[in-house]
Structure 1
């Protein structure tokens, strides 16, 4: 009987040991790690799920040794892990996650360790960024940016990951300089020969490629490709080869660019990275159009269009596709399709431009908020210093009167310094505003030049269709007359300046010719909108025929309208 009881006891203990072995004892694991930073990294990398599900009660119990540990960084990690778990459970910004982040920040502040303060700032900012609460994320990333200058990044847990999050955020709000700065910092702390290293190197290359700094972009793509080859990461090998192909294309080496791009398409499709495949196929279509390989270009476009989605992100790619289709149709002599695709291109291009304008406005708003927050930080920091000096002066005022006087003088200098800083920032804001206005004027002039170029191109097409129509009528080619007449009518309708187009054009014209409309309305207060259109188009040195097509009236109508306008202007001048 005693033997049976001992066997049962052994089996129960064995089963208990097996169950315990499934989850490593956190306290034992931490005691086996001597370095405090590595202890924090070990905890932040823990899987917070139990059987694939986030269980907050289980997690609190499992992580309890962190609260009892002498390492304050582990206590910070405890609340950071609970915050991560809560965000997964709610899958949105929520008060529970916010409360955990507040507790983590409180412990980090109490510790006085800058490297600990950095963790909740970045992770809370990225939590808001994940759910696209950009305005809420901004203060935390800005505070982290200031703290990065003071902290020892060698002592920051998972430094590469946290710096990469900062870079992702700054890139999203349009601050490429900051994004590059943090990606370059991150690559120095990323684990060697890992996907994370490749990802960061590729991101740096992408930013340089966007700025047309191809040599630097090529350098970082090559470095990433070396890591991918060493680790036999075929996905990244394909992506980076495609990116290098884009650089070769930009430099004019189309043959090598085609080879690398087609390899990238195969790799992207194999690993279901359809967006990258779509972008690369459009690039190949552009090369084929430039080389007048129309059938191949159409094949690339057809394959790329399969991966278009009805999302704002794809607008620019649809615009590029319709522009290429218009070129192909025109080259193949298919005027009807060319006009259709050109109209589609104009429609999508307008939408793309509106989207870009909206993004620029949003980014400007975020940058303004960042500037305002930085100013608030500066003022708060100065106020904190003033309060500290004030408290110190009160505590020793009865002992050291002279020291109190010195502190008062110091405060006065601080006020002057704050005013000086504020004045300098105001001056900088004025300079930035002037630069923005100058850039807007340059863009408006470019758009005006594009508008005039499109008018000339459309006029050429209209004249060509007119001649063809006349020839067909003379030669009694009745089967072609209707077709040509329909194409001509479609072209005239698409070319004509509607009220909507007029008001968009009027805004653009007012930017490139400031004061013109104001001067006209002051001199001729009763001028009609039609006469104002006539004056504006005449100001651009357009001939009567072009004006007639734009206004949708006859050539004689334009001449008579000009005569009546000159008569009214002369009469107004005589009255004055």
Structure 2
């Protein structure tokens, strides 16, 4: 072959490759379809950011597509860094700003959701929430045909709401996505899979099973092996909730096998953790430990798998406790503390994320209402200047007192939340023996005293009207009082540890009332009069009187119970 022919072939191949990498911009009259066509051509250039910019450059030359140019550049740099980075952040925010100036609400929704996907991937739930709320409000009046990639938009919102635990609203958006998605595709399978998971979390196992089986069926038909594996893993969760551990184990082992064959490390990790949990419940401790090691080997490779690594460590510590072993426990606990500290401000615990979601949602709704009020009041200025001046003065006074009211309300709510959090902490502890029961009662006593003190202080402060109207502290105090179930649990543990005393009390003194019996049990454990009074919901003086009456009533029998009275 001649040199000219070889040169021609090389130039032809180069020209073909260059054209293959050229982004095509449609000139259809349907602008929304043009944008969707552009987005379908998004490519991952890995570390070649020069090629990325060259590929996207045609978009930058057209004003109406500059928002898309910035947004896709942001995605490209996110792929390049594989972590949060300032370059991507700047491009995402620039993309949103460009979309706003274009006055194209559909494009603005896309730009914000594109940024949300980035924040969601790196678990910054707090930062993404205001953008999500804006999108949800903007979507409200729009029809599906007015939204860029409507099925993807609805699906993404549904996923995020599921993460925040808002399962009913998540279902609303996912079912909108289901209507828009093309049937028998991977996209459709992922949507109905998410619907099934939401039904699982609201404990509608029948609907959950139906949707997850449909996911598995469609995934198998279209040969989407990874989606099929995920569906099996989710069906395993349904079986686990129903108590069918053997079936759950079978599903999960199949899930892991398929995920490994398809090199889906993330799904392999998730399924291995879930399998370890089920095996642990089924008393297959050694096998559970092996699968945790498999999951850990994947979790340590990515910074955004820290939450999964924390879950793995906690399960390993649980296994060590069951085995009465301390091997590697110190290292595991050190790593656990380090991960918890690093997750504190980014991927915190689910309850914290949900709390932040609610707070952000309420605050944002208040800002919307306030903005609407100001807008309506501004319009009235054109009708009568003098009336507006008077109105403005009144408004300033109103805003001033409203701010003071909100500040007080916020302080009040924060105080209530702090006390509620303390209550949750002690109630979450295990009360498996008498020692832990005593500790629980002591802590409960301290909290009751603190609450009473707070209520006394608040009655003397400017917050009193809030407590009088809402009564949250009083309700919290009531919730601290011992229930019959708690007393029964306490008595069971007392009977185990002090069986002779308990048998003597019941057999020799059957006439004794339940309150007197509880008083004697607490006295036996060296609870002070003040502590007994708080737990029995009586005064300190009543405790002393009850003791004296018991001493008189029981007479010499009393010595069988106590060597001394106080």
For the superposition of Structure 1 and Structure 2, which TM-score range results when normalised by the shorter chain? Answer: 0.5 to 0.7
Specify which of 249, 262, 272 is matched with residue 278 of structure 1.
Answer: 272
Q: Secondary structure at the match of 1:30?
A: coil
SS of aligned partner of 2:67: helix
- Asked if 1:58 corresponds to 2:54, the answer is yes
Q: Which residue, 196, 221, 226 being the options, matches 2:187?
A: 196
Q: Is the 8 A contact 1:281 1:300 kept in 2?
A: no
Task: Look up the match of 1:114.
Answer: 105
Q: CA deviation at 1:76?
A: 3.4
Per chain length, whose mean CA-contact separation is higher, i.e. which structure has more relative contact order (CA < 8 Å, sep 6+)?
2
Distance in 2 between residues matched to 1:565 and 1:435, nearest whole Å: 28
CA gap of 1:105–1:312, structure 2 versus 1, over 3 A, is closer
Q: Deviations over 1:82-133 (max 9, x none)?
A: 3334544566666655554455445534444432221122223333444444
Contact persistence 1:244–1:260 (CA under 8 A): yes
Which position in structure 1 is the counterpart of 2:433? 455
C-alpha separation in 2, matches of 1:121 and 1:60: 19
Paired position in structure 1 for 2:203:
212
Does the aligned pair in 2 maintain the 1:118–1:144 contact within 8 Å?
yes
Provide, for residues 332-366 of structure 1, a one-character-per-residue CA deviation record: whole Å limited to 9, x for no partner: xxxxx45879x99xx89x98999999553454234
The answer as to whether partners of 1:379 and 1:418 remain within 8 angstroms in 2 is: no
Cα pair 1:204 1:217 within 8 Å, conserved: yes
State the partner residue of 1:21: 19
Q: d(CA) in 2 for partners of 1:434 and 1:360?
A: 18
2:222 counterpart of 1:231? yes
- Which residue number in structure 1 is paired with residue 471 of structure 2? none
Residues 1:301 and 2:288 aligned together = yes
Mapped to 2, the partners of 1:137 and 1:169 lie a distance apart of: 10
- Tell me how far apart the structure 1 counterparts of residues 369 and 527 of structure 2 sit (CA, whole Å): 65
Deviates more, 1:35-44 or 1:438-447: 438-447
Q: How far 1:148 moved relative to its partner? A: 1.4
Displacement after TM superposition at 1:288 (Å) = 3.7
Q: Does 1:44 align with 2:39?
A: yes
Q: How far apart in 2 are the matches of 1:169 and 1:563?
A: 49
Task: Quote the Cα distance in structure 2 between the aligned partners of 1:239 and 1:92.
Answer: 25
Cα distance change of structure 1 residues 203 and 35 upon mapping to structure 2, 3 Å threshold: same
1:155 aligns with 2:146: yes
Q: In 1, are the aligned partners of 2:181 and 2:188 still within 8 Å (CA)?
A: yes
Residue 70 (structure 2) pairs with residue 79 (structure 1)? yes
* Gaps in structure 1 of 5+ consecutive residues: 1-5, 290-296, 328-336, 457-494, 520-536, 549-557
Q: Provide the C-alpha distance between the structure 2 equivalents of 1:559 and 1:19, rounded to a whole number of angstroms.
A: 87
Residue 136 (structure 1) aligned with residue 136 (structure 2): no
What displacement does 1:137 show? Answer: 2.2
Distance in 2, matches of 1:7 and 1:357, equals 63
- Counterpart of 2:515? none
Match of 2:251 in 1: 260
Is 1:122–1:141's contact at 8 Å kept on the other side of the alignment?
yes
Q: 1:307 is paired with a residue of what secondary structure?
A: helix
After TM superposition, the score normalised by the length of structure 1 is 0.60
Equivalent-residue separation in structure 2 for 1:234 and 1:12 (angstroms): 39
CA deviations 1:24-67 (Å, max 9, x no partner) are 462xx513x55322210121232356696122652453334543
Structure 1 or 2, whichever has the larger Rg, is 1
Q: Secondary structure at the match of 1:212?
A: coil
Count of residue pairs brought into register by the alignment = 455
Q: C-alpha displacement at 1:147, in angstroms?
A: 0.8
* 1:193–1:256 distance in 2 versus 1, CA, 3 Å: same
Whole-Å Cα distance in 1 between the matches of residues 314 and 368 of structure 2? 43
1:370 aligns with one of 358, 361, 367: 361
Deviations 1:174-224 (A, max 9, x none): 444443433333333334323232223222322332332212211221221
Query: CA offset at residue 164 of structure 1?
Result: 3.1
* CA distance in 1: counterparts of 2:525 and 2:243, whole angstroms: 51
TM-superposition CA deviations, 1:406-440 (whole Å, max 9, x none): 99999999999999x99999999999999979986
Counterpart-to-counterpart distance in 2, 1:353 and 1:86:
28
1:176–1:207 Cα contact (<8 Å) kept: yes
TM-score, normalised via structure 2 length: 0.61
Q: Give the Cα–Cα distance (whole angstroms) in 2 for the partners of residues 227 and 134 of structure 1.
A: 32
Describe the shift of the 1:159–1:509 C-alpha distance in structure 2 as closer, same or farther (beyond 3 A). Answer: farther
CA distance in 2, matches of 1:359, 1:389: 46
* CA–CA separation in structure 1 for the residues paired with 2:428 and 2:23: 66
Contact 1:207 1:217 in 2 (8 A): yes
Cα contact 1:194–1:227 (8 A) shared by 2 = yes
Residues 532-572 of structure 1: CA distance to partner in whole angstroms, max 9, x if unpaired? Answer: xxxxx9x9667599599xxxxxxxxx999959999xx99x9
Alpha-carbon distance between aligned partners in 1 of 2:405 and 2:142, rounded to the nearest angstrom: 27
Do the aligned partners of residues 223 and 363 (structure 1) sit closer, same or farther apart at CA in structure 2, a change above 3 Å counting? same
Change (3 A) 1:8 1:122: closer
Match of 2:458 in 1: none
Measured in 1, the distance between the counterparts of 2:41 and 2:235 equals 37
CA distance in 2, matches of 1:564, 1:99: 62
Residue in structure 1 matched with residue 533 of structure 2 by the alignment: none
Change (3 A) 1:121 1:447: closer
Counting only pairs closer than 5 Å after superposition, residues 297-446 of structure 1 correspond to structure 2 as 297-309=284-296, 311-320=306-315, 337-338=323-324, 359-388=350-379, 390=381, 393=382
